[in-house]
Structure 1
Amino acid sequence: MDSWAAVVGLGLLAAAVGVIAFVRYRQHETATLQRDVTLARELRELAGTDEVRLASVDEFELAIYQRLFYASVVGPRIRSAAWALFGTALAMSAAVAASAGDGVLYTVAQIGALVVTAVFALATLTFVAMALVHTATTPRVSFAESYAAERSTTDTGSG
């Protein structure tokens, strides 16, 4: 076995571990958000009519909604892009491995692997573009305008 083959194998193993760890982290983040949403509901019930506690719950919910935007809209596209990038690396490795041999079978395998590489590369670019578009165009939850309006009515009403 050549040393380059060992390096490529270790690189693919590292890429697999990296992609799996990234996807697992994102799944854990989604589970944490679901627990936070449940906690926010319970806190709202416990707050009752106390305005200070309700304001605290509102701030907590705002943070959840801002994180939820990423986890529900952008996160799945980034996870898909990571898997597609890993597929691109695997298919490219197969194409390089098939190029080492001679004959019709190796040529067909190399062409097939290159086609699969192109498909995965296109999928990667598509998912990255979708994530960027959603990041740039999807409105985020923000109560800054309502807070500013509330402050201006409070300031003008008390003076």
Structure 2
Amino acid sequence: MDSWAVVVGLGLLAAAIAVIAFVRYRQGETATLQRDAALARELRELAGGDEVRLASVDEFELAIYQRLFYASVVGPRIRSAAWALLGVTLSVAAAVAAAAGDGVLHTVVQIAALVVAAIFALATLTYVGMAIVHAATTPRVSFAESYAAAEERATEA
């Protein structure tokens, strides 16, 4: 076995581990945001009518909802793009490995791997495009209007 094959194999293993770690990290972030949203509801109930406490809960919720936008809209597309990119990498590696042999079977496997790589590449570009579009067009959560209305009520009182 050539040493380059070992290096390529270790690189593919590292790529797979990196994608899995990235996806797990992002899923953990989503779970944390769900816990934070539940905590914000509890804090709002505990704050009662105290305006200072309610204002701090509003700030906490603002941070949560801004992160929740990413985690719920853009995050899944980026995770899908990462999986598809791993599919491209593995398919291309299979095509290169199949190219090393002679015969009809190796040629068929190489062509099939290249077709699969093209499909995964198209999926990767699609998911990246969707993530960019959603990041650019989906409105962010903003409490600016509600803050302005609260300040007007406070000055009137």
Q: Which runs of 5+ in 2 are unaligned?
A: none
Question: What CA distance in whole angstroms lies between the structure 1 residues aligned with 2:85 and 2:45?
Answer: 45
Work out whether 1:90 is the aligned partner of 2:90. Answer: yes
Question: What CA distance in whole angstroms lies between the structure 2 residues aligned with 1:108 and 1:2?
Answer: 24
Work out whether 1:147 is the aligned partner of 2:147. Answer: yes
SS at match of 2:131: helix
TM-score when scaled to structure 1?
0.93
- The residue number in structure 2 matching 1:36 is 36
Question: What CA distance in whole angstroms lies between the structure 1 residues aligned with 2:47 and 2:149?
Answer: 24
Shift of 1:150: 5.1
Shift of 1:154: 7.1
- The residue number in structure 2 matching 1:63 is 63
Provide the aligned length of Structure 1 versus Structure 2. Answer: 157
Deviations 1:57-79 (A, max 9, x none): 11111111000000000000000
Deviations 1:43-98 (A, max 9, x none): 01100111110111111111110000000000000000000000000000000000
- Letter matched to residue 21 of structure 2: A
Change over 3 Å in CA distance of 1:78–1:109 after alignment to 2: same
- The residue number in structure 2 matching 1:16 is 16
Question: What CA distance in whole angstroms lies between the structure 2 residues aligned with 1:29 and 1:46?
Answer: 25
TM-score when scaled to structure 2?
0.94
- Letter matched to residue 129 of structure 1: G
SS at match of 1:102: coil
Shift of 1:106: 0.4
- The residue number in structure 2 matching 1:116 is 116
- Letter matched to residue 56 of structure 1: S
Shift of 1:146: 3.9
Deviations 1:18-37 (A, max 9, x none): 00110010011001001001
- Letter matched to residue 64 of structure 1: I
Question: What CA distance in whole angstroms lies between the structure 1 residues aligned with 2:23 and 2:56?
Answer: 32
Work out whether 1:77 is the aligned partner of 2:73. Answer: no
- CA RMSD in angstroms comes to 1.6
Shift of 1:148: 4.5
- The residue number in structure 2 matching 1:100 is 100
Question: What CA distance in whole angstroms lies between the structure 1 residues aligned with 2:41 and 2:156?
Answer: 33
Q: Which runs of 5+ in 1 are unaligned?
A: none
- Letter matched to residue 106 of structure 1: H
- Letter matched to residue 79 of structure 2: R
Question: What CA distance in whole angstroms lies between the structure 1 residues aligned with 2:30 and 2:2?
Answer: 43
Shift of 1:157: 5.7
Question: What CA distance in whole angstroms lies between the structure 2 residues aligned with 1:94 and 1:122?
Answer: 18
Shift of 1:149: 5.7
